[in-house]
Structure 1
């Protein structure tokens, strides 16, 4: 389930930050921007059903507070799910690809739908990368090692695995595989 497939340390890529109400991906991407590794950041997410925040706009605000300039940020703020994150960001993703940047998905470590949605909605994506972070649910960090012992973590990881397998099998999501450290 782990999406981690980091780009080479010297390769700048466009970072697609998938919507969430947690701040960890913004800290990760802002740091990478300041290292020269994320020259284009695509912040995605509409209204969060739990908090009411508009994730894409909130990400933009947080990135700005961390010194990332507006010209490096694109915002998608209408989506309500992972596939819409990609669908409503297509112009930005294609902008990145046409400028020669590979794509890096930034999401929870187990959120495989991000990878499949990119491959399904952007068939010309070629090889792409994944950077992940560990979310907090019910006050507990859902790590790669501890998730089976955390009821909310186990529920989320198993649900994601089942959803991805079912959707790849029915053809509504394209399969992806990691070869030589990249997704394709």
Structure 2
């Protein structure tokens, strides 16, 4: 890849992170520890009071992502009543579709104007695109990202795992747009 291609991919895939108040934090489930630290930071700063964690059984561990993440957060002092779980989804689209129903049933949309999307740095664009498509214009969405797997926006192209993850996103987005699963930002 040329430096121009790397720059274009970087600018497209990695959405800037904004530490700002929101009515709800939306968390894409994962088996990784990094989001727990970020969620706790956001919660302790008073930026969110309600946290929706979305994730079913992880295909690598056989464990429920939402339940494991909630247990870890409660262990760190997050009030259990501030957590809302969606624990059936198996991919990003299901995370959003199933969580939309949970929001409608548990919270309603009346008091939700801003959602902070807590997600992996390299997943931030597709995460926001999926939410934009299915939450429509009901709310303002913004990303609070965390770095994982030993790479970041500045060095992903020289990391084997960075190239694998970022280029997979680069390839998925046009396919998912064509299927109508996501909407461009």
> What residue ranges of structure 2 are gaps of 5+ in the alignment?
1-12
The answer to whether the 8 Å contact 2:23/2:113 transfers is: yes
Look up the match of 2:131.
118
Aligned to 2:48, what secondary structure does the other structure show?
Answer: coil
- Is the aligned partner of 1:175 residue 2:184? yes
Deviation at 1:175, TM superposition (A): 1.1
How many angstroms apart in 1 are the aligned matches of 2:19 and 2:146? 15
Provide the aligned length of Structure 1 versus Structure 2: 170
Which structure shows the bigger proportion of residues in helix conformation?
A: 2
TM-score, normalisation: structure 2: 0.84
- Is the aligned partner of 1:80 residue 2:90? yes
The answer to whether the 8 Å contact 1:19/1:43 transfers is: yes
How many angstroms apart in 1 are the aligned matches of 2:19 and 2:37? 17
| 1:128-139 pair list within 5 angstroms | 128-136=141-149
The answer to whether the 8 Å contact 1:103/1:125 transfers is: no
Cα distance, 1:92–1:170 mapped onto 2, change above 3 Å: closer
TM-score, normalisation: structure 1: 0.85
Deviation at 1:38, TM superposition (A): 1.4
Deviation at 1:154, TM superposition (A): 0.3
| 1:143-158 pair list within 5 angstroms | 143-158=152-167
> What residue ranges of structure 1 are gaps of 5+ in the alignment?
177-184
TM-align CA RMSD: 1.7
Cα distance, 1:101–1:7 mapped onto 2, change above 3 Å: farther
Look up the match of 1:181.
none
